[in-house]
Amino acid sequence: MNKILRVNMKELTVKAEPTRKEYQFLGGRALIARLLLDEVKPACEPLGRHNKLIFAPGLLGGSKVPSSGRISIGGKSPLTGGIKESNGGGVVGLKLGRLGYKAVIIEEIPRNEEKYLLKITADGAELIPAGEYWGLGVYQTAALLRQQFGDKVAVSCIGPAGEKKLAAAGIANTDTNGVPSRYSGRGGLGAVMGAKGIKAVIIDDSNSGAGEPANPEQYKEALRQYSRILKESPVIKTYTDYGTAAMVQVTNAIGGLPTRNFTTGHFEGAEKISGEALRETILARQGKTRHNCMPGCLIGCSNVYVDAAGKEIVSPLEYETIALMGSNLDIHDLDAIARLNYLCNDYGLDTIETGAALGVAMAGGVIPFGDKQGAINLVHEIGKGTILGRVLGMGAQIAGKVLGVINVPAVKGQAMAAYDPRAIKGVGVTYATSPMGADHTAGNTVRNQVDHHSAQGQAELSAKSQYTVPVYDALGLCLFTSAGIGASPEVLCQLVNAQLGTDFTPETLFKMAADTVKWEREFNQQAGFTKYDDRLPEYFYETPNPATNTVFDVSDEEMDQVHK
Amino acid sequence: MNKILRVNMKELTVKAEPTRKEYQFLGGRALIARLLLDEVKPACEPLGRHNKLIFAPGLLGGSKVPSSGRISIGGKSPLTGGIKESNGGGVVGLKLGRLGYKAVIIEEIPRNEEKYLLKITADGAELIPAGEYWGLGVYQTAALLRQQFGDKVAVSCIGPAGEKKLAAAGIANTDTNGVPSRYSGRGGLGAVMGAKGIKAVIIDDSNSGAGEPANPEQYKEALRQYSRILKESPVIKTYTDYGTAAMVQVTNAIGGLPTRNFTTGHFEGAEKISGEALRETILARQGKTRHNCMPGCLIGCSNVYVDAAGKEIVSPLEYETIALMGSNLDIHDLDAIARLNYLCNDYGLDTIETGAALGVAMAGGVIPFGDKQGAINLVHEIGKGTILGRVLGMGAQIAGKVLGVINVPAVKGQAMAAYDPRAIKGVGVTYATSPMGADHTAGNTVRNQVDHHSAQGQAELSAKSQYTVPVYDALGLCLFTSAGIGASPEVLCQLVNAQLGTDFTPETLFKMAADTVKWEREFNQQAGFTKYDDRLPEYFYETPNPATNTVFDVSDEEMDQVHK
């Protein structure tokens, strides 16, 4: 990978350029952080001409390393007003990498609100008028694009939510089946894509390089070790069997499963929406567990959730969605949650942000908690862009302001994921201090064997995680591999070096991670953020979580040490 | 004045306490800045229990000095997230001062959302259940309260907008006629009052001190000079004849009259909404020009605007409203503007914020520009609290986000007043750098004889004004007196010292002003504001005002020097 594709939506030009030397050993999130800091004025209007939308595979993108094809999508977030990298699975990262692109940088906005498709092949790239694709849901968009451009293409696209520039809009990436359900969901980057007038990026890697390793012998041995380690991990085994939904019973037991707009962390209906229930239902109905989002994945945390007749409702159904659109809404019905998930996907909405916004709407009395049909109706309102829909589509924080709900689970304007910060305090520290806003993937601590209710040591735990995650996000590796390979960074380096011909050490990899967070914080600082933004909403400090009888009590001083 | 009244809405207690020594020579805005910095955590939730709402007359409050009865109301703003002092005319400041109160501090929020009236008399204060007052418009509220408590009482109250905690809600103060039309409009402090469950503060100054000067002989002489200076000022003569509406033709000639959501600064219909047209209409219909909001005012900038049958529509009709709800909405009909003004007043809405929000709604296609009846309908939506109404009632910035309008004339979340910052650049500097958000009263430069289109010297001009205004806001003096007395600070000191028995010099008065801004900025800094918040929206730097062909081009470096 040695090229950067620059797309100018004002001039309607595409241009491949060589990668600058200082970007050579950066990929994914790390490259995005550096590029945004170098090229975008942090104080710019996120939906205006100065923001840039960047697609960057990780350094391993295009290789055959299992689980290495994640795509990082970045820009200034319309939700947080800060920097954002939003990471998705599927085959987009793989195919961009195979075409030799380290990054696709989309600049400017169209002069007259024209809409386009961006098609990228081995022969170059071009902008094609989006025509009737504009307005379609992501499922139909991807299906029609694959009819038009061949069923081997990968697609990143937005739905009506992104087109309407709603801040809860994500970007959908196609998986191994061509289904656009691998979401770069967070941060509202779908709205940035909508503002740039791009409905979809279509990537055709026919006639591209084969992603062969630089050093095949070393690669073979390193791959063997890597694969063994992943296969032996009990955590990964759980992902394979139950998917991320295994977390439902874990967080519910800790008292950290967000329930009824984060008013408690224990949900009476948890069992009905648990990983076990999910697996049993899927197996009984002949759906699919152990589903891969990327080719050759050794984890297979995904699934295909089907209805009683065996017909697919949504794929995958994951923990964060089950919590935010289940317990958080007082809904203990996997079918209903799956339907909500499908709808959000199709409209192009992040299920976390949308679930949190619906929780706020229920807290504000728009519909009662537990009202399944009401929730579905509200998602339709968002998709249609009614006034109420636009309020909710702007995310939980704006929804709270408009609906008069003060207790909104959000930091820096972005909704929390599915961990109550009073019960799982390390995640609370991450929510507060991550440059990404409240984002569990920026530094999840829930798997650590600690007293999650105690404030002690949580800042350090979060810091350790926050400074580890960017390694994976820069390589394009699925974060779940860290459950195995995290303990063997030297093996990871051998694999990376064998593939790329580099000489990374664990130290230089972690240095890249630290630089990434430093650049992101520098961007945010110039966007106006201070330590006072690195805090949770007031009520988490003052209103106990009834399931644990704890408040969030990690001190400001400790929080301010996270990035020291 | 030597007492502070402390009202706790959780405990439902009222307590008068002596003024701490360090507050002795502070009043109005200066006292509010110091109190908020001392007592309120700047990062707190504005509508939560930690915010405080403070009513503080100026140091001259309660005296017979003409135009000295302004009331300062302050707290953390739900609109800007920073400190706010919102200054109003009428008789509230006078009567609180006569009762000896330097400040009324309302703390906490009710346990069970109960609603109260706060009654303050010479015998003490008490909380009375608000009963059926809750829900009434401000006009009916004040009229009924004056029936119940006697027509000599002063009233500060909120309307439905404040009850609904909408961020565009102001607080209405009664004038010499008992009409609650003197607005502490800006910053959304009506929502803070609503959150505290206070519908109205009723002040009965029967049996209070007479506000006699400490040194009657000196006072008499100083007053004579003060009055002569005011009477001789040609600017004040204009205020008397035309009211603030005289500004319409001034800003329109400069190209700075906000028109159609600040897309241009020249309004074709300016003449029809000018001060001249206003005066002619009022005189022809036997309304009233030269109306006083405070007893004994020498300026009389207020008016009573009547319909063709001579029936009052609204009092007063002022420049900012005429521009924001007139030219800004493409409405060139004083009757329609007056009706919009009345409606906003009655619902308890700031006409500047609401006018800007309506401009955004028109830009967003909710209704067309120029649609008078549509605008009236939208104000009713706000008052009723429909979803669309709540969106608009949260102010221009939130409305822009929800309605997908990027070009919103606001700084720090607060809408600009009636001066296009590309045409009147000193006001642009004030909008950007004032701790109050976009607020013309924090440092208006329009009356200076400079080239308003040139960036040169505008930062200094704004700074000078921003560090002068707090003198008036601390004394309780109407800012319009500065048009005369501003050039004779020694006379002002003589008057103040004769009244209070103090030994202020121009230097110590200006020192208090500088301290005020310093404290306000310190509060904001701890609320998370940085220099990056001291900027105008992007489009003012990039899209020329067609009336002047200028963009806002005061450099960031110059802006950052304003408070140095």
Closest CA to A288 of A261, A267, A317, A260: A317
Q: Which of A43, A387, A406 sits opposite B45 (nearest CB)?
A: A406
Q: Which residues of B touch A394 (CB under 8 A)?
A: 401-402
* Assigned domain for B142 exists: yes
Report the length, in residues, of chain A.
Answer: 564
Q: Which residues of A touch B83 (CB under 8 A)?
A: none
CATH assignment of the domain containing B151? 3.60.9.10
* Assigned domain for B66 exists: yes
| Strand-pair partners of B545 | B550
- Taking residue A506's Cβ as centre, other Cβ atoms within 10 Å add up to 13
Average pLDDT score, chain B: 97
What is the tally of structural domains in chain A?
A: 1
Q: What distance in Å separates the CA atoms of residue A317 and residue B468, rounded to the nearest whole number?
A: 61
Q: Which of A391, A532, A537 sits opposite B526 (nearest CB)?
A: A532
Q: What distance in Å separates the CA atoms of residue A522 and residue A212, rounded to the nearest whole number?
A: 36
Q: Name which of A499-513, B6-20, B286-300 the model is least confident about.
A: B286-300
* Assigned domain for A336 exists: no
Task: Annotate A317-339 with DSSP letters as a single string.
Answer: --HHHHHHTTGGGT---HHHHHH
What are the pLDDT tens digits along chain A (564 aa)? 789 999 999 999 999 999 999 999 999 999 999 999 999 999 999 999 999 999 999 999 999 999 999 999 999 999 999 999 999 999 999 999 999 999 999 999 999 999 999 999 999 999 999 999 999 999 999 999 999 999 999 999 999 999 999 999 999 999 999 999 999 999 999 999 999 999 999 999 999 977 899 999 999 999 999 999 999 999 999 999 999 999 999 999 999 999 999 999 999 999 999 999 999 999 999 999 999 999 989 999 999 999 999 999 999 999 999 999 999 999 999 999 999 999 999 999 999 999 999 999 999 999 999 999 999 999 999 999 999 999 999 999 999 999 999 999 999 999 999 999 999 999 999 999 999 999 999 999 999 999 999 999 999 999 999 999 999 999 999 999 999 999 999 999 999 999 999 999 999 999 999 999 999 999 999 999 999 999 999 999 999 999 999 999 999 999 999 999
**Widest Cα–Cα separation across chain A:** 63
CB contact under 8 A, B404 and A535: no
Residue A48 tokens read as 């205006």
Asked if omega into B216 is within 30° of 0 (cis), the reply is no
Q: H-helix or E-strand containing A18?
A: strand A13-18
CB contact under 8 A, A387 and B404: no
| Strand-pair partners of A182 | A173
ipTM above 0.85, yes or no: yes
Q: What distance in Å separates the CA atoms of residue B463 and residue B457, rounded to the nearest whole number?
A: 10
* Assigned domain for A315 exists: no
* Assigned domain for A177 exists: yes
Contact B518, B104 (CB under 8 A): no
CB contact under 8 A, A45 and B538: yes
Domain with B80 in it: 3-203
Q: Which residues of B touch A408 (CB under 8 A)?
A: none
| pLDDT at site A58 | 98
Query: For an interface test with B, which of A109, A387, A521, A539 has the most B Cβ atoms less than 10 Å from its Cβ?
Result: A387
Closest CA to B70 of B109, B96, B45: B96
CB contact under 8 A, B398 and A398: yes
Q: Which of B404, B533, B535 sits opposite A165 (nearest CB)?
A: B404
Q: H-helix or E-strand containing A154?
A: strand A154-157
- Beta-strand ranges (E) seen in B97-206 are 101-107, 116-121, 124-129, 154-157, 171-173, 182-184, 198-203
| pLDDT at site B209 | 77
Q: What distance in Å separates the CA atoms of residue A540 and residue A455, rounded to the nearest whole number?
A: 13
Q: Which of A43, A164, A406 sits opposite B404 (nearest CB)?
A: A164
CB contact under 8 A, A404 and B44: no
Q: What distance in Å separates the CA atoms of residue A472 and residue A480, rounded to the nearest whole number?
A: 9
CB contact under 8 A, B527 and A532: yes
| pLDDT at site A515 | 98
Q: How do residues B489-543 score in pLDDT, each as one tens digit?
A: 999 999 999 999 999 999 999 999 999 999 999 999 999 999 999 999 999 999 9
Q: Which of A43, A530, A538 sits opposite B535 (nearest CB)?
A: A43
DSSP state of B251: H
Cα atoms found within 13 Å of the Cα of residue A358, Cβ hemisphere only = 38
DSSP state of B8: E
* Assigned domain for B346 exists: no
Q: Would you place residue B296 in the very low, low, confident or very high pLDDT band (cuts 50, 70, 90)?
A: confident
CB contact under 8 A, B48 and A391: no
Contact B284, B276 (CB under 8 A): no
Residues 6+ apart with CB under 8 A from B368: B362, B374
Contact B388, A387 (CB under 8 A): yes
Task: For CA atoms A524, A528, A531, A537, give the dihedral sign.
Answer: negative
Inter-chain Cβ pairs, chain A and chain B, closer than 8 A: 71
Q: H-helix or E-strand containing B250?
A: helix B247-254
- The C-alpha of A524 sits at a distance from chain B's nearest C-alpha, in angstroms, of 11
Q: Which of B42, B406, B527 sits opposite A47 (nearest CB)?
A: B406
| pLDDT at site A444 | 97
* Assigned domain for B172 exists: yes
In this prediction, residues B460-484 reach a mean pLDDT of 97
Closest CA to B261 of B356, B341, B350: B356
* Assigned domain for A249 exists: no
| pLDDT at site A523 | 98
Task: For residue A78, give the chain B residue with the closest CA.
Answer: B401
Q: Residue B247 above 80 pLDDT? A: yes
| Matching residue, tokens 């565009």 | B168
